[in-house]
Structure 1
Amino acid sequence: MAHTQHPEAAPSTGAFRTTVALAALLQRVESQAASIGAQQYRALVQQLDQQLAQLPPGDELQRLLASFPAAAMVYENRHYGHAGLCRAPLELSLNSELAARTLIEKVQATRA
């Protein structure tokens, strides 16, 4: 998925301020070769997930997600159960579903 980070386009006031800071941090972590530890990464993603859950839907949220692809993935995973890969292009979504189905079939075949 090709995304471009445009932090200036993300909302930076009110309820979005903390979320933008966490989203920017996650984006930096995702783009660096040197990574943080698994526990730190998990804590960062969980904090971002909690912040995203509190934000109202609308244009500001969409701008935030468009500005920070890593945050968009967290958001998409949060809503996957009822929306699927709603932010991914259709071809990428289809390929992901097919790959998941193939993997599930392989695992089931090895257990049988």
Structure 2
Amino acid sequence: MNTPLTTHRNLVTLVQVLRKLERSRVPVDPEQYRSLVTHIADELRNHPRDAGLEALLTAVPELAELYENLQYEHAGLCRSPLDAAVGAEQAARDAIAAAMRR
């Protein structure tokens, strides 16, 4: 049975593993990393949009970034400050324009 509390615990556990992998000094197998991110994405899709999720997203930048990437099609950079998002978009446009001139 998958309750909101179970989903929340699953997500917290997966995020803890993600943090360990990202901070590891030992090279991580790309397939292992990809599999973990897929599991986290699945949990995020099933997680209720509630205060618990918001607290997790605020506390864990890695999770917030993943969440934002999953929501990008519908909400853009929904968790990034607007100034940073606009700056990133402009930098991307500038880099594309420079690459096209070459």
Q: TM-score band (shorter)?
A: 0.7 to 0.9
Secondary structure of 2:67's aligned partner: helix
**Residue 6 (structure 1) aligns with:** none
**Partners in 1 of 2:87 and 2:27 — Cα distance?**
28
Corresponding letter in the other structure for 2:80: A
Secondary structure of 1:51's aligned partner: helix
Displacement of 1:107 in angstroms is 4.1
Displacement of 1:32 in angstroms is 3.0
Corresponding letter in the other structure for 2:74: H
TM-score between the two structures when normalised by the length of structure 1: 0.76
**Residue 48 (structure 1) aligns with:** 40
Corresponding letter in the other structure for 1:21: T
**Partners in 2 of 1:35 and 1:98 — Cα distance?**
33
Displacement of 1:36 in angstroms is 1.1
Identical-residue share of aligned pairs (%): 34
Corresponding letter in the other structure for 1:97: E
**Partners in 1 of 2:77 and 2:20 — Cα distance?**
23
Q: Number of residue pairs matched?
A: 99
TM-score between the two structures when normalised by the length of structure 2: 0.83
Stretches of structure 1 that go unaligned for 5 or more consecutive residues are 1-11
1:67 pairs with 2:59:
yes
Checking the alignment, whether the CA contact within 8 Å between 1:27 and 1:71 is kept in structure 2 is no
Q: Which has the higher contact order (CA 8 A, sep 6+)?
A: 1
Q: 2:11 aligns with which of 10, 19, 35?
A: 19
Stretches of structure 2 that go unaligned for 5 or more consecutive residues are none
